[in-house]
Amino acid sequence: MVRHFLDIHRLEAAELRAILDDAHARKAARKGWPQGRPDADAPGKERVLAMVFEKNSTRTRFSFDAAIRQLGGASIIATASDMQLGRGEPVEDTARVLSRMVDAVMIRANNHEDVERFARVSTVPVVNGLTDRSHPCQILADLQTIEEHIGPIAGKTIAWVGDGNNVCHSFIHAAPKFGFHLNVACPAEYHPDLRDLEKGGASVSLTSDPREAVRGADVVVTDTWVSMGDQDYEARLAAFEAYGVDEALMALAAPDAVFLHCLPAHRGEEVTDEVIDGLRSLVWDEAENRIHAQKAVLAWCFAG
Protein backbone atom coordinates (compact mmCIF):
# COMPACT_ATOMS: atom_id res chain seq x y z
CA MET A 1 0.00 0.00 0.00
CA VAL A 2 1.22 3.51 -0.81
CA ARG A 3 2.07 5.44 2.36
CA HIS A 4 0.51 8.91 2.17
CA PHE A 5 1.10 11.42 4.97
CA LEU A 6 -2.10 13.45 4.78
CA ASP A 7 -3.13 13.92 8.40
CA ILE A 8 -1.89 12.84 11.80
CA HIS A 9 -5.15 11.13 12.74
CA ARG A 10 -4.76 8.76 9.75
CA LEU A 11 -1.65 7.08 11.22
CA GLU A 12 -1.40 4.67 14.13
CA ALA A 13 0.08 6.02 17.38
CA ALA A 14 3.01 3.58 17.17
CA GLU A 15 3.82 4.67 13.59
CA LEU A 16 3.77 8.32 14.62
CA ARG A 17 5.98 7.65 17.62
CA ALA A 18 8.45 5.81 15.35
CA ILE A 19 8.53 8.76 12.93
CA LEU A 20 9.22 11.19 15.78
CA ASP A 21 11.95 8.93 17.19
CA ASP A 22 13.52 8.77 13.73
CA ALA A 23 13.45 12.59 13.52
CA HIS A 24 15.32 12.79 16.84
CA ALA A 25 17.85 10.16 15.68
CA ARG A 26 18.47 11.83 12.31
CA LYS A 27 19.08 15.19 13.98
CA ALA A 28 21.46 13.69 16.57
CA ALA A 29 23.41 11.85 13.87
CA ARG A 30 24.02 15.00 11.82
CA LYS A 31 25.76 17.18 14.41
CA GLY A 32 28.25 19.43 12.61
CA TRP A 33 27.68 17.95 9.14
CA PRO A 34 27.34 20.29 6.17
CA GLN A 35 23.68 20.67 5.14
CA GLY A 36 24.33 19.04 1.79
CA ARG A 37 25.82 15.77 3.04
CA PRO A 38 23.35 12.87 2.89
CA ASP A 39 22.41 10.84 5.99
CA ALA A 40 24.36 7.57 6.22
CA ASP A 41 21.36 5.38 5.31
CA ALA A 42 20.25 7.72 2.46
CA PRO A 43 16.69 6.35 2.19
CA GLY A 44 15.90 8.84 -0.57
CA LYS A 45 18.80 7.73 -2.78
CA GLU A 46 17.88 8.05 -6.46
CA ARG A 47 14.41 9.33 -5.50
CA VAL A 48 12.82 12.55 -6.68
CA LEU A 49 10.37 14.58 -4.58
CA ALA A 50 8.03 16.94 -6.42
CA MET A 51 6.65 19.91 -4.52
CA VAL A 52 3.56 21.78 -5.68
CA PHE A 53 2.70 25.09 -4.04
CA GLU A 54 -0.64 26.85 -4.35
CA LYS A 55 0.28 29.19 -1.47
CA ASN A 56 3.39 31.02 -0.30
CA SER A 57 6.03 29.23 1.76
CA THR A 58 9.49 29.76 3.19
CA ARG A 59 10.00 27.03 5.79
CA THR A 60 8.10 24.23 4.10
CA ARG A 61 9.72 24.88 0.75
CA PHE A 62 13.32 25.12 1.95
CA SER A 63 13.07 22.40 4.59
CA PHE A 64 11.58 19.82 2.22
CA ASP A 65 14.19 20.67 -0.38
CA ALA A 66 17.03 20.34 2.16
CA ALA A 67 15.36 17.20 3.57
CA ILE A 68 15.18 15.25 0.31
CA ARG A 69 18.82 16.16 -0.47
CA GLN A 70 19.92 14.94 2.98
CA LEU A 71 18.03 11.71 2.31
CA GLY A 72 20.14 11.33 -0.83
CA GLY A 73 17.49 12.41 -3.36
CA ALA A 74 16.55 15.41 -5.49
CA SER A 75 13.59 17.79 -5.76
CA ILE A 76 11.45 19.54 -8.34
CA ILE A 77 9.56 22.59 -7.07
CA ALA A 78 6.61 24.14 -8.91
CA THR A 79 4.03 26.79 -8.26
CA ALA A 80 0.58 25.47 -9.13
CA SER A 81 -0.27 28.60 -11.13
CA ASP A 82 2.71 27.90 -13.43
CA MET A 83 1.50 24.35 -14.04
CA GLN A 84 -1.43 23.34 -16.25
CA LEU A 85 -3.29 22.94 -12.95
CA GLY A 86 -3.50 26.73 -13.05
CA ARG A 87 -5.34 26.48 -16.39
CA GLY A 88 -7.82 23.89 -15.17
CA GLU A 89 -6.12 20.51 -15.75
CA PRO A 90 -7.86 18.16 -13.32
CA VAL A 91 -6.07 17.32 -10.07
CA GLU A 92 -6.47 13.60 -10.81
CA ASP A 93 -4.80 13.87 -14.22
CA THR A 94 -1.93 15.82 -12.67
CA ALA A 95 -1.55 13.07 -10.06
CA ARG A 96 -1.48 10.34 -12.73
CA VAL A 97 1.24 12.17 -14.65
CA LEU A 98 3.45 13.07 -11.67
CA SER A 99 3.14 9.48 -10.40
CA ARG A 100 4.95 8.37 -13.58
CA MET A 101 7.79 10.89 -13.12
CA VAL A 102 8.65 11.25 -9.43
CA ASP A 103 8.80 9.11 -6.29
CA ALA A 104 6.76 11.31 -3.92
CA VAL A 105 4.75 14.52 -4.07
CA MET A 106 4.40 17.19 -1.39
CA ILE A 107 1.46 19.52 -1.91
CA ARG A 108 0.54 22.85 -0.27
CA ALA A 109 -3.05 23.46 -1.33
CA ASN A 110 -5.84 25.94 -0.82
CA ASN A 111 -8.46 23.21 -0.49
CA HIS A 112 -7.74 20.14 1.59
CA GLU A 113 -10.04 18.09 -0.63
CA ASP A 114 -7.68 18.64 -3.58
CA VAL A 115 -4.86 16.87 -1.70
CA GLU A 116 -7.23 13.99 -0.89
CA ARG A 117 -8.26 13.80 -4.58
CA PHE A 118 -4.60 13.77 -5.63
CA ALA A 119 -3.77 11.01 -3.16
CA ARG A 120 -6.73 8.86 -4.22
CA VAL A 121 -5.19 8.30 -7.67
CA SER A 122 -1.49 8.84 -6.96
CA THR A 123 0.63 5.69 -7.09
CA VAL A 124 3.45 7.45 -5.17
CA PRO A 125 3.30 8.84 -1.60
CA VAL A 126 1.60 12.21 -1.13
CA VAL A 127 2.54 14.51 1.77
CA ASN A 128 0.31 17.32 3.02
CA GLY A 129 2.47 20.45 3.21
CA LEU A 130 -0.43 22.55 4.61
CA THR A 131 -4.03 23.00 3.52
CA ASP A 132 -6.90 25.13 4.77
CA ARG A 133 -7.71 22.22 7.12
CA SER A 134 -4.40 21.00 8.53
CA HIS A 135 -0.60 21.20 8.73
CA PRO A 136 0.60 17.79 9.99
CA CYS A 137 4.34 18.17 9.20
CA GLN A 138 4.46 21.28 11.38
CA ILE A 139 3.15 19.44 14.40
CA LEU A 140 5.80 16.71 14.19
CA ALA A 141 8.50 19.41 14.20
CA ASP A 142 6.78 21.09 17.13
CA LEU A 143 6.62 17.88 19.16
CA GLN A 144 10.28 17.18 18.37
CA THR A 145 11.17 20.65 19.65
CA ILE A 146 9.19 20.21 22.85
CA GLU A 147 10.76 16.83 23.58
CA GLU A 148 14.28 18.21 23.02
CA HIS A 149 13.75 20.92 25.59
CA ILE A 150 11.36 19.58 28.24
CA GLY A 151 11.25 15.80 27.74
CA PRO A 152 8.66 13.27 26.55
CA ILE A 153 5.45 14.80 25.19
CA ALA A 154 3.19 12.17 26.82
CA GLY A 155 1.48 13.67 29.87
CA LYS A 156 2.33 17.29 29.00
CA THR A 157 -0.24 20.08 28.64
CA ILE A 158 -0.12 22.33 25.59
CA ALA A 159 -2.14 25.56 25.46
CA TRP A 160 -3.16 26.77 22.01
CA VAL A 161 -4.13 30.46 22.07
CA GLY A 162 -5.78 32.22 19.10
CA ASP A 163 -7.36 30.96 15.90
CA GLY A 164 -8.83 27.44 15.73
CA ASN A 165 -7.09 27.05 12.36
CA ASN A 166 -5.26 24.43 10.27
CA VAL A 167 -2.26 24.22 12.64
CA CYS A 168 -4.60 23.98 15.63
CA HIS A 169 -6.48 21.12 13.93
CA SER A 170 -3.25 19.13 13.53
CA PHE A 171 -2.43 19.69 17.22
CA ILE A 172 -5.91 18.37 18.03
CA HIS A 173 -5.30 15.28 15.88
CA ALA A 174 -1.95 14.70 17.61
CA ALA A 175 -3.15 14.96 21.22
CA PRO A 176 -4.71 11.48 21.60
CA LYS A 177 -2.03 9.88 19.41
CA PHE A 178 0.89 11.18 21.50
CA GLY A 179 -0.89 11.26 24.88
CA PHE A 180 -0.74 14.99 25.67
CA HIS A 181 -3.53 17.32 26.74
CA LEU A 182 -4.44 20.30 24.58
CA ASN A 183 -6.22 23.37 25.96
CA VAL A 184 -7.57 25.45 23.08
CA ALA A 185 -8.50 29.10 23.78
CA CYS A 186 -10.20 30.94 20.93
CA PRO A 187 -13.10 33.31 20.34
CA ALA A 188 -16.40 31.45 19.83
CA GLU A 189 -16.66 32.49 16.16
CA TYR A 190 -13.17 31.15 15.33
CA HIS A 191 -13.27 27.80 17.10
CA PRO A 192 -11.76 24.66 15.52
CA ASP A 193 -13.91 22.63 13.14
CA LEU A 194 -16.17 20.28 15.11
CA ARG A 195 -15.12 17.32 12.93
CA ASP A 196 -11.54 17.90 14.08
CA LEU A 197 -12.47 18.51 17.71
CA GLU A 198 -14.22 15.15 17.68
CA LYS A 199 -10.92 13.48 16.70
CA GLY A 200 -9.24 14.99 19.77
CA GLY A 201 -11.87 13.50 22.12
CA ALA A 202 -11.12 13.79 25.83
CA SER A 203 -7.54 14.91 25.09
CA VAL A 204 -8.78 18.37 24.08
CA SER A 205 -10.51 21.12 26.14
CA LEU A 206 -12.04 24.22 24.57
CA THR A 207 -12.46 27.62 26.22
CA SER A 208 -12.74 31.24 25.18
CA ASP A 209 -10.45 32.33 28.06
CA PRO A 210 -6.72 32.38 27.21
CA ARG A 211 -5.79 32.64 30.89
CA GLU A 212 -7.72 29.48 31.71
CA ALA A 213 -6.04 27.60 28.85
CA VAL A 214 -2.51 28.72 29.75
CA ARG A 215 -2.67 28.26 33.52
CA GLY A 216 -0.08 25.60 34.46
CA ALA A 217 0.58 24.60 30.82
CA ASP A 218 3.99 23.22 29.81
CA VAL A 219 3.85 24.74 26.34
CA VAL A 220 2.11 27.84 24.95
CA VAL A 221 1.52 27.93 21.19
CA THR A 222 -0.01 30.50 18.90
CA ASP A 223 -0.20 31.27 15.19
CA THR A 224 -1.25 34.13 12.95
CA TRP A 225 -4.79 35.42 13.39
CA VAL A 226 -5.15 35.72 9.60
CA SER A 227 -4.14 32.61 7.68
CA MET A 228 -3.42 32.48 3.97
CA GLY A 229 -6.79 32.63 2.23
CA ASP A 230 -8.65 34.38 5.08
CA GLN A 231 -10.42 37.50 3.81
CA ASP A 232 -11.88 39.00 7.01
CA TYR A 233 -8.72 40.73 8.27
CA GLU A 234 -10.38 43.60 10.18
CA ALA A 235 -12.98 41.37 11.83
CA ARG A 236 -10.26 38.97 12.90
CA LEU A 237 -8.05 41.63 14.43
CA ALA A 238 -11.01 42.80 16.49
CA ALA A 239 -12.08 39.28 17.53
CA PHE A 240 -8.56 38.26 18.61
CA GLU A 241 -7.62 41.43 20.46
CA ALA A 242 -7.58 39.68 23.86
CA TYR A 243 -5.69 36.63 22.54
CA GLY A 244 -2.17 38.02 22.12
CA VAL A 245 0.56 36.08 23.91
CA ASP A 246 2.54 38.48 26.10
CA GLU A 247 4.69 38.07 29.18
CA ALA A 248 1.72 38.46 31.54
CA LEU A 249 0.01 35.50 29.87
CA MET A 250 3.23 33.43 29.83
CA ALA A 251 3.58 34.09 33.57
CA LEU A 252 0.46 31.96 34.17
CA ALA A 253 2.03 28.90 32.53
CA ALA A 254 4.31 26.42 34.31
CA PRO A 255 7.58 28.02 35.55
CA ASP A 256 9.66 26.26 32.86
CA ALA A 257 7.01 26.58 30.11
CA VAL A 258 8.18 27.09 26.53
CA PHE A 259 6.71 29.09 23.64
CA LEU A 260 6.17 27.88 20.07
CA HIS A 261 4.99 29.56 16.86
CA CYS A 262 5.12 27.86 13.45
CA LEU A 263 6.06 31.20 11.82
CA PRO A 264 5.71 33.55 10.04
CA ALA A 265 4.86 35.64 13.12
CA HIS A 266 3.03 38.94 13.25
CA ARG A 267 4.81 40.68 16.09
CA GLY A 268 2.51 42.95 18.04
CA GLU A 269 -0.54 40.91 17.02
CA GLU A 270 -0.59 37.28 18.21
CA VAL A 271 2.75 37.58 20.06
CA THR A 272 4.92 40.33 21.54
CA ASP A 273 8.61 40.81 20.73
CA GLU A 274 9.42 40.07 24.38
CA VAL A 275 7.89 36.59 24.17
CA ILE A 276 9.05 35.52 20.72
CA ASP A 277 12.58 36.85 21.32
CA GLY A 278 12.59 35.77 24.97
CA LEU A 279 14.35 32.91 26.73
CA ARG A 280 11.31 30.63 26.63
CA SER A 281 10.85 30.91 22.89
CA LEU A 282 11.91 27.87 20.85
CA VAL A 283 10.79 29.17 17.46
CA TRP A 284 14.17 28.89 15.67
CA ASP A 285 14.74 25.30 16.82
CA GLU A 286 11.13 24.65 15.80
CA ALA A 287 11.81 25.99 12.29
CA GLU A 288 15.00 23.91 11.98
CA ASN A 289 13.18 20.80 13.10
CA ARG A 290 10.97 20.98 10.05
CA ILE A 291 13.92 19.45 8.16
CA HIS A 292 14.48 16.59 10.61
CA ALA A 293 10.77 15.78 11.08
CA GLN A 294 10.10 15.86 7.34
CA LYS A 295 13.06 13.59 6.65
CA ALA A 296 11.49 11.09 9.04
CA VAL A 297 8.13 11.45 7.25
CA LEU A 298 9.70 10.96 3.81
CA ALA A 299 11.75 7.98 5.04
CA TRP A 300 8.53 6.46 6.39
CA CYS A 301 6.80 7.06 3.03
CA PHE A 302 9.68 5.50 1.06
CA ALA A 303 9.78 2.46 3.36
CA GLY A 304 6.18 1.60 2.41
300 C-beta neighbours (distance < 10 Å), count: 20
| Binding partner of residue 84 among ligand NVA, ligand CP, none, CB cut-off 5 to 8 Å per kind | none
How far apart CA 113 and CA 116 sit, in angstroms, is 5
Site string for ligand NVA, 213-232 (x = CB under 6 A): ----------xx--xx----
Instruction: Say if CB 304 and CB 277 are below 8 A apart.
Output: no
Catalytic residue status for 135: yes
262 binds ligand NVA (CB under 6 A): yes
Q: Smallest gap, in angstroms, from Cβ of residue 136 to ligand CP?
A: 11
Catalytic residue status for 108: yes
| Binding partner of residue 75 among ligand CP, ligand NVA, none, CB cut-off 5 to 8 Å per kind | none
Site string for ligand NVA, 154-173 (x = CB under 6 A): -----------xxx------
Q: Smallest gap, in angstroms, from Cβ of residue 55 to ligand NVA?
A: 7
239 binds ligand CP (CB under 6 A): no
| Binding partner of residue 227 among ligand CP, ligand NVA, none, CB cut-off 5 to 8 Å per kind | ligand NVA
Site string for ligand CP, 41-60 (x = CB under 6 A): ----------------xxxx
Q: Smallest gap, in angstroms, from Cβ of residue 88 to ligand NVA?
A: 24
Phi, psi of 108 (to 5 degrees): -110, 115
Kindly determine how many residues on this chain lie close enough to bind ligand CP according to the rule CB under 6 A.
8
Torsion angle in degrees (nearest 10) through CA of 80, 86, 91, 94: -70
249 binds ligand CP (CB under 6 A): no
Residues at the contact surface with ligand NVA, assessed by CB under 6 A: 130, 165-167, 223-224, 227-228, 262
Residues at the contact surface with ligand CP, assessed by CB under 6 A: 57-60, 130, 138, 262-263
